[in-house]
Amino acid sequence: EVLLQQSGAELVRPGSSVKISCKASGYNLTDHYMHWVKQRPEQGLVWIGRINPANGNTVYAEKFKNKATLTADKSSNTAYMQLSSLTSEDTATYFCTRSGYFDYWGQGVTVTVSS
Amino acid sequence: DVVLTQTPPTLSATIGQSVSISCRSSQSLLQSNGNTYLHWLVKRPGQSPQLLIYSVSRLESGVPNRFSGSGSGTDFTLKISGVEAEDLGVYYCVQGSHAPWTFGGGTKLELK
């Protein structure tokens, strides 16, 4: 069974960074791209970017190029997303999702940016 | 970037009613390899999004066959033939034919 298990909720200070994880099980992480999606409260889904875990190649949406950094650790079958210089605009739930078909999703990580 | 425009933004339906959601793209999603990467998802409250239809019309495994997708080029439609209570949520189209991937604005399905 394919599962994407994400790390827990985060409460972080403005200006700081946070790194959230997405551990894949039931398949080899390198067999599929991993995408990341943002959803702010009461708003729609926004694509952040994707990583090819096999070689680390990344593609980002323009607005996230200086905000998000995607990485992958093949040894632990885990993908990561780091968000930097956090502001209230980054308060949201972040999902990892497998492949360009978005066929499996993590449960989401709620990041709250507050002083 | 490709802009996906979904209509209507809100849909009120009774149980058993058939409904359709439109997704129009700002450019053709047909790739030179003949594939069209237009998919449909549903986001139910408190849950992660779920894939319903991929590549325009292919039903994801485990999804009830009351869901169907159609279309080509720039115009696509998701149809629910006989809404059930569990279908409530926000429906999104998403395209992966042209980077960056983009989502439609969503269509909220409510019970009348």
Q: What is the pLDDT of residues A64-76, one digit of tens each?
A: 999 999 999 999 9
Mean pLDDT of chain B: 96
Among all residues of chain A, which has the CA nearest to that of B9?
A44
CB within 8 Å: B49 and A102: yes
pLDDT at position B26: 98
| Residues of A with Cβ-Cβ distance to B90 under 8 angstroms | 44
pLDDT digits (tens, 9 = 90+) for A34-50: 999 999 999 999 999 99
- Over residues B58-84, mean pLDDT: 97
Going by pLDDT thresholds of 50, 70 and 90, the confidence category of residue A100 is confident
Mean pLDDT of A4-26: 97
- Band (A24; pLDDT cuts 50, 70, 90): very high
Average pLDDT over residues B103-111: 96
Q: Which of A43, A26, A18 is nearest to A98 (CA)?
A: A26
Average pLDDT over residues B68-86: 97
Label the pairing between strands B67-72 and B75-80: antiparallel
pLDDT at B35 over 90: yes
Nearest residue in B to A6, CA atom: B48
How far is Cα of residue A93 from the mean position of the Cα atoms in its chain? 10
Confidence label for B101 from pLDDT (cuts 50, 70 and 90): very high
Among A47, A57, A110, the residue to mutate for chain B (most B Cβ within 10 A): A47
Cα distances from A84 to residues A106, B3, B11, B81, in angstroms, run 21, 27, 38, 45
Where do we find the tokens 């093949």? A74
* A110 contact B CB<8A: no
Q: Which chain A residues are within 8 Å of B58, Cβ to Cβ?
A: none
Which residue of A44, A95, A97 is in closest CB contact with B106?
A44
pLDDT of residue B37: 96
Q: Averaged over B55-77, what is the pLDDT? A: 97
- Which token pair is B53? 């239809």
Q: Taking an 8 Å Cβ-Cβ cutoff, which residues of chain B contact chain A?
A: 1, 37, 39, 41, 43, 48-51, 54-55, 60, 90, 92, 94, 96, 99-106
| B112 pLDDT tier (thresholds 50, 70, 90) | confident
Residue-wise DSSP of B71-101:
EETTEEEEEESS--GGG-EEEEEEE-SSSSP
